[in-house]
Each structure stands twice: as structure tokens, then as C-alpha cells.
Amino acid sequence: MDKQELAEKILELKKKKNAVILAHSYQDIEVQALADFTGDSLELSRKAAGTDADMIVFCGVDFMAESAKILSPDKKVLLPASEAKCPMARMADAEGLRELKKENPDAVVITYINSPAEVKAESDCICTSSNAVRIVEHYKDRKIIFAPDRNLGNYCKIMTGADMIIWDGYCYVHDEFSIGDIYIAKHEHPGCILLVHPEAPADVLEQADFIGSTSQITKFVEDNIADMDENAGVIIGTEVEIARILQLKFPNKRIYPLADHAVCLQMKKTSPDDVYNSLLNEKEEIFVSEEVRKKALKALNKMLELSK
Ligand code: 13P
Ligand code: SF4
């Protein structure tokens, strides 16, 4: 099948099965082109919670499809590439979190959406990179346990002054950014400002002109790039797909990834063929036990309530 045929077949199946395709903005451009909605973790959670489709095909990684199932239990949720599992999400475990809670009985637990359902179920509130500071701010009069991303946790601690116990997890894509990358990028692209995702380490964030989630970075560029002259431009400190897509949108502007090594291999596991096969065979279906789901839903709903 050529690309056009494949896209038509996907559209046909989507209509027949009343399905919606959601794609995270780190997915390959060809996969994003097949989606009804693209965006960051918070935007896609909102879409998953609000859709009236019968089936959600989630082009992303495991915790995203799982969150969609928690929010929309009556829908069939499919992850087209079953091996697309976020390594950071797996750094947190429910057993360890329960231990930490026992040692700190008065603490409130805020968990990053990049986590397994069982960990969400042990949490008071979930956050994403676009609302983490706001949510920590909300709870800052109490001691906070934050899991699993140490960089996002530290960033929230610096921004709010909250008393936080931070899990030692990290995203290998963003944690790899270094001062050396910034030095090289600024040397190669003089006059450009630096935009960085809060999963990056503190010394990298310190050098940023703007810090935000994937959608916040995208929006910043969309809102500001038209006014930049030919000597100015942007260096994008997150997964490389964001800079690629922005460069396609603004072909005459100077847009560069902070480093070519910033590739999320797990996000790249989904292909257009996988999307087609997923819709056709209704695989891989995501399941969450009802006991875990109910508890995790409370924490996810708290996040949605606090980020209105
Ligand atoms: P956001 O989509 O919230 O920016 O998070 C990035 C990410 O790493 C998703 O896995
Ligand atoms: Fe996980 Fe990082 Fe990939 Fe996001 S970019 S899915 S946090 S490994």
C-alpha cells in the first residue's frame, strides 16, 4: 500500500469503528499527520476524557494510553506499538511509593503523568510538565512527595519554594542535555534564544530564555517567531520532532534542535502501518484493573480540576 492508500484505509476504518486518533507531538510527522488531535500530555488527556468516540487509538507511549483508559473506561483504548514504553515511567513503583508515604504520613503525593497506573493510584494529584508548577504551588503549604522525574521536581521546588521529597527518576532524552550542548548550539547559531523542556537538568534550565512543555514551547514560537528578524531564531531544548515540525511550519525562520541526540526511541516505535493494523485488529488493547483505575482517576481528575 502506498502512503495515500494507507491514509484512506485508516480514515475508512476510523469512521466504521467511530475511532479517534490521538498523537503526542514527539511522534513521527507521518504518524501525527494521521491524527485527529496532536498535543502534549495534558492536552491529550483532556481530549481522551472528553471524546465521544468508541475507540481511542493512542499514538504515544504506554502511560499515555493507560491514562486515556483511566479517564474513559468505557472506550476501547489501543496502543499501536505495544513495545512503546516510557523508561522514566518505569522508574517509579507503587511499593516504593507506599514505603515513602509510610515514612512521611503527612505528605501529599504529586505524581507526574509519566508513571504507571499503580503509582497514580497511590497519589493525591497528577501533574504534567505544563501544569506541574501550578499544582505544586497549590499544595506548597504541605510537605510534598514528587515522583518520578527529579528534574521536573527540582524545577518545581525552585519555582515555588515548597518542601519536597523528590524521587530519583529521569527522562534519558532530556536528562542528556548539557552545558556543552548549549555552548555548541549557541556557537553554531548565534543570536538564537533557548527554549527548554523542564525534564532537562537544572544547569541547562538555568541557561534557558523560556521553560515549558512541548505545547508551551510550540506556542511560544508560533506567537513570537514572525516578529524575529533574520539574525534571530530559536534553539529548541526538547525532543527533535518539535524543532522539525516548527521548521516545516516556518520554513524561512531559524529553528534548531538543541542537540541531535534528543530522540525518544520509544516515541518513534509507532509507524503509519502500526496505526492501520491497530485499527484493523483492535490491538494492543489497554486494560487497567477497576480497583487501581478508580484510585488513579481521583488523582487525574484532581489535576484536571486544578488546571482549568
Ligand atoms: P509533555 O508532553 O507534557 O511536554 O511531556 C513530554 C514528554 O516527555 C512526554 O513523554
Ligand atoms: Fe519517556 Fe522521555 Fe520518551 Fe517522554 S521523551 S516518553 S519522558 S523517555
Decide if 276 is inside a domain: yes
pLDDT, position 1: 83
Decide if 298 is inside a domain: no
> Among all ligands shown, which has an atom nearest to the Cα of 46?
1
> Among all ligands shown, which has an atom nearest to the Cα of 213?
1
13 & 74 share domain: yes
**What CATH number does residue 102 fall under?**
3.40.50.10800
Decide if 24 is inside a domain: yes
Q: Is the pLDDT of residue 175 over 90?
A: yes
Q: What is the pLDDT of residues 129-168, one digit of tens each?
A: 999 999 999 999 999 999 999 999 999 999 999 999 999 9
Tell me the average pLDDT across 113-126.
Answer: 98
Q: Which of the listed residues 147, 171, 195 is the one where a domain comes to its end?
A: 171
> How many angstroms separate the CA atoms of 222 and 188, rounded?
23
Decide if 50 is inside a domain: yes
Residues 159-191 as b or e (16 or more Cβ within 10 Å = b): bbebebebbebbbebbbebbeebbeebbeebee
pLDDT, position 126: 98
pLDDT, position 165: 98
User: Which helix (H) or strand (E) element contains residue 36?
Assistant: none
Our count of domains for the chain comes to 3
> How many angstroms separate the CA atoms of 148 and 97, rounded?
10
Decide if 48 is inside a domain: yes
- Ligand 1: residue of 27, 126, 129, 197 to mutate (most ligand atoms within 8 A of CB) is 129
Q: Is the pLDDT of residue 308 over 90?
A: no
Q: Is the CB of 62 under 6 A from ligand 1?
A: no
∠267-273-279 over CA atoms, to 5°? 95
**Domain hosting residue 208, numbered range:** 177-257
Q: What is the pLDDT of residues 95-117, one digit of tens each?
A: 999 999 999 999 999 999 999 99
205 & 182 share domain: yes
64 & 8 share domain: yes
Tell me the average pLDDT across 207-235.
Answer: 97
> Among all ligands shown, which has an atom nearest to the Cα of 128?
1
Evaluate whether 70 touches 300 at the Cβ level (below 8 Å): yes
Residue 288: helix, strand or coil by DSSP?
A: coil
Q: Is the CB of 27 under 6 A from ligand 1?
A: no
User: Which helix (H) or strand (E) element contains residue 289?
Assistant: none
pLDDT, position 44: 94
Residue 243, C-beta contacts closer than 8 angstroms, at least 6 positions apart = 236, 255, 256, 257
What is the average pLDDT value for the chain, to the nearest integer?
97
> How many angstroms separate the CA atoms of 78 and 19, rounded?
10
pLDDT, position 275: 98
Decide if 104 is inside a domain: yes
Ligand 1 atom, smallest distance to 215 CA: 4
- Ligand 1: residue of 32, 128, 211 to mutate (most ligand atoms within 8 A of CB) is 128
Q: Any residues with Cβ below 6 Å from ligand 2, and which? A: 26, 61, 86-88, 114, 171-173, 239, 264, 266-267
78 & 105 share domain: no
182 & 236 share domain: yes
Decide if 262 is inside a domain: no
Torsion angle, alpha carbons of 270, 273, 274, 275, to 10: 90
pLDDT, position 246: 98
27 & 66 share domain: yes
Q: Which of the listed residues 123, 148, 171 is the one where a domain comes to its end?
A: 171
pLDDT, position 288: 98
